[in-house]
């Protein structure tokens, strides 16, 4: 069987590793910026093994962070506060 590639690109990215504590949880994130994401960033939750491409509009979407990062509402509030600062 022949493999059909949709893309196979190499790109320099800027990645930031951030660890912080909130009221109820510790957060360990890797945030990668790339021209591929059209102004959004790839946020990887290292503890939970989840990732999402997120922009300022996604942060404000009700229930979105809870869903993609499998976090409680309280944890998502802390994460949302940090991402608002990052993306502003």
Tokens of residue 68, six digits: 């993609």
> Do the Cβ atoms of 32 and 18 come closer than 8 Å?
no
N- to C-terminal Cα distance for the chain? 47
Q: CA 49 → CA 4, 35, 56, 69, distances in Å?
A: 28, 23, 22, 8
pTM of the model: 0.87
- Percent of the chain predicted with pLDDT > 70: 100
Residue 7 CA to residue 13 CA, distance in Å, equals 17
Q: Of 31, 13, 36, which is closest to residue 85 (Cα–Cα)?
A: 31
> C-alpha angle 44/49/55, rounded to 5°?
25
pLDDT of 5-39, one tens digit each? 999 999 999 999 999 998 888 999 999 999 888 88
């Amino acid at each position: 069987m022949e493999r059909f590639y949709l893309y196979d690109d190499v790109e320099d990215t800027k990645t930031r590793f951030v660890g912080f504590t909130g009221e109820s949880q510790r957060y360990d994130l890797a945030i990668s910026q790339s021209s591929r994401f059209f102004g959004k960033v790839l946020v990887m939750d290292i503890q939970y093994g989840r990732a999402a491409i997120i922009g300022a509009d996604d942060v404000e979407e009700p229930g979105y962070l809870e869903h993609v990062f499998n976090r409680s509402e309280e944890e998502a509030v802390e994460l949302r506060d940090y991402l608002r600062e990052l993306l502003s």
